[in-house]
Every structure is written in C-alpha cells, then in structure tokens.
Amino acid sequence: MSLINRDLKAIWHPYTQMKTALPPIPIVRGQGACLYDENGKCYIDAVSSWWVNIHGHAHPYIARKVAEQLNQLAHVIFAGFTHPPAIELAERLLEILPGNQQKAFYSDNGSTAVEVAIKMCLQYWHNQGINRTKILAFKNAYHGDTFGAMAVSGRSAFTAAFDSMLFEVEFIDLPNASNIKSLTSGISQLTSKLACFIFEPLVQGASGMLMYEAEYLDQLMAHCRNEGILLIADEVFTGFGRTGKAFACDHLSMRPDIMCFSKGLTGGTMALGLTTCSQQIFDAFLSDDRLKTLFHGHSYTANPVACSAGLASLDLFLEPATKENITRIETRHREFVLKIKDHPRVRTTRQTGTILAMEWETGADTSYFSSLGDELYQYFLEAGIILRPLGNIIYILPPYCITDEQLNYIYSTIGSALDEL
C-alpha cells in the first residue's frame, strides 16, 4: 500500500477535513532548505515547515548532538529532578535574553508556553490577594490552539465553535501614531481589572504577517508598566532571528515580564516550549504556602533530548555565519520587493527581517478562505516550492541556510504567478 493510502486510512491532518482537500504529500527525506517526496521530487521549504526550521533539515550537527543524548539519557521526570541539558539551555538562553529574564519554565510547544505565561500572570495577582483577572490582547492575535491560547487570540472562524467557552478578553487595535493616545486612555480605564497584556512583538504571524512599529509598542508597554499591568511577549514565532535581531524584543527599549518560545527553539528538530520570567514574577510563587505553587507540568517537560537539540541549535544560531545569512536574506527580500511592488496584482508588501509578505490583489475576497490561496498553493507545489498562503497573502520565511539560487527561483516563480494567474 502506498504511503498516501496508508496515511489517509490512519491520520487526521490539520486543516484538511474538506472532502475536496488534496491528499498529503509523502515526504521521506530533508536536506538543507529542501524536502524530498517518495518519488524524489525536491520541494524548497520556503516557510520553514510552519516557521520552525531555522538551520535546514537534517542538520548533521544537531543530529549528532541528539544521538549522543539519546545514548545517555532519553527522559526523566522533571518534578523533583533535573539534568545538564535543561540547566545549560536555560542558562545560555537567559544570557542572551533581555536582562530582566531570570527564570525558565519548560513545556511542550508554543501553545503551552503561552498557557504557562497566562497562568503565571493570573496567579501572580491571586497569590497576592489582588483581584486582577482580565487580559489585554491585540485584535487578530494568534497565540495557539489550546483553550487559554485560543482565548487570548482574536475571534475568528478558527475559534467560532468554542467562542462561548473562551474567557473574556479586552482586545485592542495595533498601535500607531494616530491611535496610541486613545489606546492608552482606554487601558487606564480598565487598569484595576487587567492582569496582563499579551502580544506578538512587531509581527502578527498567522493573521497575515501584519506588522507594526516598535516605537508605538514601546509606548503601549510603558503605559501598561506604569499601570502595573504585566507584559507577556509571545516570541514563539518571532524569536531566534526572524525579525533581523535575535529576538523581536531586541528592537524595543521596554522589557517584557514574561517571554514565550518554541518553533525555532530546537531548530525545527522536535517539540519544546519555554516560558521565561522576571525575578518579580517568580518571587510571587516562592512561599511556604503550597497553595501558591504554580501547578503546571507536562510528562515531557524539559525532555533531555529536546533540550540537547535546543543547545545544538543555539550553537549554530550564535555563529557569525548565521547572522550573515539573516542579513543576506533581508537584503534579498528588499531587492525583490522593489521589483514587484508596482505590479498591478500586488496590493501591498511588508517586510521585517527575514519575513516577507505580499498581498495579492483579488478584488473583494481577501479572507483566509480565499479560493486564490488554494490556487497559489497548488501552483507553487507544482513548481517545487512550499508556500502556504494565508488567504490572498503570500509570505516567504525560509531557513537561514537557503541559497541565493533557491531564493532567486522562489522570487522568479512568484513573478511568474503574478503574470499568469
């Protein structure tokens, strides 16, 4: 039986429940920026396999470090125990994060990293006997698919079946020069209720790579800090070089109280989540009263193999060559934007770091479910490129190892699509 037939009999894939959905493509091997199917066809992974892969597929250095760890310690319960990979990864990450980040809490993925952050904030106030239970978030936000993460995400077709069960959140617009004063004024009216403000710094990924300026986020964060509102930076997507700096928060003068990480954390090797926080947050839980404990943990919390993958990925990330590649991709994206920005089918373009997005002119239908998205997806697949349009929005988010030749092919194929479709 073929891989496709076996898959269709056994697996429920995300986003593919429509009867008209195309069958999954059986991928059997990866190398660098490319993935290969069972027939040997090469696909350039221009979206880093849902934004997780930063160094390329099957990286030999990460593979070696993972294999070494598997032969030493595969897993141990992390409640009451610890191990070297978890300690080293936490210490090394805290060294390069904003200086107020002092503690690291491990979980399994991006959604759970956010869940931990939300629980930290709500219980921070609870442990002090202060009734601040509301959460502030941006409209169109996406923070994950588990219930807490969904609740602080913008309401959409993806949450519709669960809206009545999600806790109430105060949603505000992205800040800009014209609305920053009204936003801060509105927040002041809610201060006594607000426990925290959660945000995707600079780029809202799943909402269409919506981008906004650091200057106005800084002003919003400063106002929240003055009002005693805790700050959660969701860097699950933007972390590890995506915005041109190590972390999106490196573009800011304000420091968040809590930060969330996953995706690029292990270089796209395996699942791992991490939530870091300030000493102030940690101290609210440090007590002889057991009821002040943060009762949260996962079976695979701080898995040694995943932590070793994270350490290997961090080694590669901190190499000068990686920074050079990030700068090279930024430059190539800018050059491509100049070539296509005036094309009649291009509504708008936007770029932050290695993230390039362009909106296709479609007339009326610009939703996530635009039929153009399916047409574009299939067009690029046939050309050997993995691009997953967000409705009428095409974005390029490649591994840092992608070559100029591969980038040129992606750009030229997009150019052809603009002329042909």
Distance CA 134, CA 169 (A): 6
Count CB-CB contacts under 10 A for residue 117: 31
Distance CA 378, CA 95 (A): 43
Q: Name the active-site residue from 43, 45, 65, 263.
A: 263
Q: For residue 131, give the amino acid letter.
A: N
What pairs with residue 57 in β-bridges? 32
Query: What's the DSSP call for residue 59?
Result: -
Q: Name the active-site residue from 9, 15, 19, 289.
A: 15
Going from the C-alpha of 267 to that of each of 58, 183, 262, 298, 315, the distances in angstroms are: 10, 37, 9, 21, 10
Q: Name the active-site residue from 43, 106, 134, 234.
A: 234
Q: State which H helix or E strand residue 135 sits in.
A: strand 134-138
The count of residues in the chain is 421
Query: What's the DSSP call for residue 99?
Result: T
Task: For residue 300, indicate whether it is catalytic.
Answer: no
* CA nearest neighbour of 136 among 185, 183, 195: 195
Distance CA 37, CA 344 (A): 35
Task: For residue 263, indicate whether it is catalytic.
Answer: yes
Q: Name the active-site residue from 43, 142, 212, 411.
A: 142
Q: Tokens 């039929």 appear where?
A: 371
* Residues contacting 303, CB < 8 A, separation 6+: 75, 272
Q: For residue 88, give the amino acid letter.
A: E
Task: For residue 181, indicate whether it is catalytic.
Answer: no
3-state secondary structure 154-215: CCCCCCHHHHHHCCCCEEECCCCCCCHHHHHHHHHCCCCCEEEEEECCCEECCCCCEECCHH
Task: For residue 19, indicate whether it is catalytic.
Answer: no
* Residues contacting 178, CB < 8 A, separation 6+: none
Which residues are part of the catalytic machinery? 15, 142, 234, 263
